[in-house]
Amino acid sequence: MRYFPDNIVAVATAPQNGAIGIVRISGVEAKNLLTHVFVSQSGLAVSLVPGRLHFGRLVGVDGVVLDHCLAVYMPGPHTFTGEDVVELHCHGNLLLLKKVVAAVLSLPSKAGIRGAEPGEFTKRAYLNGKVDLTQAEAVHELITASSDAALNSSLANLDGALKQLIDHMRDQLVTVLADVEASFEFSEEDIQTYNPAQTLVLVEACAQKLKTLEAAYRTSKLYDHGVSVVLVGRPNVGKSSLLNAILVEDRAIVTEVPGTTRDVVEGAKIIDGVRFIFRDTAGLRPAQDPIEKTGIDKTNEWIQKSDVVIVVLDHFNQEPDGEPDIMLPQKTTVIRVLNKADVLEYKQKKLEQLSDSEREELQRLGGYDLVVSAKSGYQIPHIETLLKKWLDHHCDKTNCLHINERQVRSISQALAKLDLCQPLLQEGGLREELLAACLRDVIGCLNDIVGIVTSEDVLANIFGRFCIGK
């Protein structure tokens, strides 16, 4: 345990009015500070039982009652920060909570009391060895998760799943490194202190695990930022109508006038536990009007930035103006949707009335993925089905760990170093110094992930993103 000389205080709940607001104090004098502001209903000092919620009144230094509240005192080291912690469960008025914090800050304190910095409670938990860096980051990721999938993977990290995996890998590599380094001692004699074939198997197994974590990063990114889906096409094909049909709400303006949508209109929907962000855009056509031109520029930007592009068409076989000329990035998935199935005809039938085989024939001939009607709702759920398939293909749901950008940088560096180890082990013979150096680098990268030695800059960057009070 590290000793922090001062005490910190902050509102721990969201900065808005609510039923309950919590003020948290952590530090060596937490209990003492509490006894100065908290009295029983009758005005007497409360004898605090650790871990028990006590009902009483909060009083400022001038003796004025600030609130009726519940207070709990939790002695360290079995607390979140590892220090003595006090929580005041007040009425959730932000103005009131600020007064409570001000009252605590004005108390006499030998060690000093100050407002906590963003993420400082979690930083103390990390520095006191209560959590490793992956668990500390998981706290922030859990708070900001916007889908079930993001919640579950952050929770797995909070439980220590990533830490355990990295620790296990590192322990194995440390043992091998010790054996390889021992060979330096016996360089003159012909003694092999490690088994190159077995070491190679271990190195390959570690590389495989790290590759799985790299894949988990791509999945985590989708969980964190959502999947971006952009609706594009010529004006009037029904992009805005489709957006509204997918979201089941009147989100974008729909009119029969071509060029209605100028700006990007977006809305989100959770599909299979993941957040999809749908964006309706200005129709693509040669435009003179500067406002429409700017809108079309934005359409093209979103085509470049999105994971999935839904190209909407409203005439089969031949578009009157030719199909829109869309510059698609290489890896982007394109879904071609033929809209207005309620009015378009094929084989003298409305598209909605086609048999399955006729519809498949039409889709194949026109290269459409789907025939829909935004107006009647025909086949709209199938857009979700296609997006679920996309998700199955791009998300590794078997891997439930959350990997962030900082972690994946170290994972990739470790992988690059492991790649160097492999030929050294295969070729054999007198390359132990090089092998040991590579293994040391890999271990260093793994240490970075869990935060065994981490610079103050990196910590400031991680915890600076937290909210105050966490």
Ligand X SMILES: Nc1nc2c(ncn2[C@@H]2O[C@H](COP(=O)(O)OP(=O)(O)OP(=O)(O)O)[C@@H](O)[C@H]2O)c(=O)[nH]1
Q: Pick the closer one to Mg ion by CB: 134 or 261.
A: 261
Answer for which of 340, 359, 417, 470 binds ligand X (CB under 6 A) is 340
Q: How far apart are CA 406 and CA 408, in angstroms?
A: 6
Q: How far apart are CA 274 and CA 394, in angstroms?
A: 12
The window from 14-22, 233-241, 269-277, 379-387 that contacts ligand X (CB under 6 A) reads 233-241
What binding mask, one character per residue, do residues 366-405 give for ligand X by CB under 6 A, x or -? -------xxx------------------------------
User: Are the CB atoms for 61 and 107 separated by under 8 Å?
Assistant: yes
- Please report which helix (H) or strand (E) contains residue 25, including its range: strand 18-26
Answer for which of 148, 167, 342, 358 binds ligand X (CB under 6 A) is 342
- Please report which helix (H) or strand (E) contains residue 235, including its range: none
Q: Which residue has the tokens 């590892």?
A: 82
Q: How far apart are CA 414 and CA 430, in angstroms?
A: 23
What binding mask, one character per residue, do residues 240-279 give for ligand X by CB under 6 A, x or -? xx------------xxx-xxxx------------------
Joined tokens for residue 435:
């092998």
Q: Which residue is nearest to ligand X (CB)?
A: 283
What binding mask, one character per residue, do residues 208-247 give for Mg ion by CB under 5 A, x or -? --------------------------------x-------
Q: Does 343 bind ligand X (CB under 6 A)?
A: yes
Q: Does 235 bind ligand X (CB under 6 A)?
A: yes
Q: Pick the closer one to Mg ion by CB: 260 or 412.
A: 260
Please, which residues have CB within 8 angstroms of residue 464's CB and are 6 or more apart in sequence?
118, 119
User: Are the CB atoms for 150 and 141 separated by under 8 Å?
Assistant: yes
User: Which of the choices Mg ion, ligand X, none does residue 241 contact, using the CB cut-off of 5 to 8 A by kind?
Assistant: ligand X
User: Which of the choices ligand X, Mg ion, none does residue 333 contact, using the CB cut-off of 5 to 8 A by kind?
Assistant: none
Q: Pick the closer one to Mg ion by CB: 321 or 360.
A: 321
The window from 62-70, 148-156, 238-246, 383-391 that contacts ligand X (CB under 6 A) reads 238-246
Q: Does 299 bind Mg ion (CB under 5 A)?
A: no
Backbone angles phi, psi at 166, to 5 degrees: -70, -45
User: Which of the choices ligand X, Mg ion, none does residue 438 contact, using the CB cut-off of 5 to 8 A by kind?
Assistant: none
User: Which of the choices Mg ion, ligand X, none does residue 238 contact, using the CB cut-off of 5 to 8 A by kind?
Assistant: ligand X
Please, which residues have CB within 8 angstroms of residue 95's CB and are 6 or more apart in sequence?
none
User: Are the CB atoms for 241 and 308 separated by under 8 Å?
Assistant: no
User: Which of the choices Mg ion, ligand X, none does residue 340 contact, using the CB cut-off of 5 to 8 A by kind?
Assistant: ligand X
SS3 313: strand
Question: Rounded to an integer, what is the distance from CA 384 to the centroid of its chain?
Answer: 22
**What minimum distance in Å lies between the beta carbon of 243 and Mg ion?**
8
Q: How far apart are CA 341 and CA 108, in angstroms?
A: 75
Q: Does 261 bind Mg ion (CB under 5 A)?
A: yes
**What minimum distance in Å lies between the beta carbon of 313 and Mg ion?**
14
**What minimum distance in Å lies between the beta carbon of 328 and Mg ion?**
20
Q: How far apart are CA 266 and CA 277, in angstroms?
A: 7
The window from 98-106, 141-149, 221-229, 234-242 that contacts ligand X (CB under 6 A) reads 234-242
The window from 179-187, 237-245, 271-279, 435-443 that contacts ligand X (CB under 6 A) reads 237-245
The interaxial angle of helices 405-427 and 432-450, nearest 10 deg, is 160
C-alpha Rg value of the chain to the nearest Å: 30
Q: How far apart are CA 143 and CA 466, in angstroms?
A: 9
Please, which residues have CB within 8 angstroms of residue 20's CB and are 6 or more apart in sequence?
13, 89, 90, 91, 92
Question: Rounded to an integer, what is the distance from CA 437 to the centroid of its chain?
Answer: 34
**What minimum distance in Å lies between the beta carbon of 257 and Mg ion?**
10
User: Which of the choices Mg ion, ligand X, none does residue 237 contact, using the CB cut-off of 5 to 8 A by kind?
Assistant: ligand X
Q: How far apart are CA 228 and CA 233, in angstroms?
A: 17
Q: Pick the closer one to ligand X by CB: 199 or 240.
A: 240
Q: Pick the closer one to Mg ion by CB: 199 or 261.
A: 261
Enumerate residues 30-59 that contact Mg ion by CB under 5 A.
none
Q: Pick the closer one to ligand X by CB: 145 or 282.
A: 282
Q: What is the CA angle 103-108-113, rounded to 5?
A: 70
286-290, long-range: CB < 8 A, 24+ apart: 287/259, 289/259
Q: Which residue ranges make up the site for ligand X (CB under 6 A)?
A: 235-241, 254-256, 258-261, 283, 339-340, 342-343, 373-375
Q: Which residue ranges make up the site for Mg ion (CB under 5 A)?
A: 240, 260-261
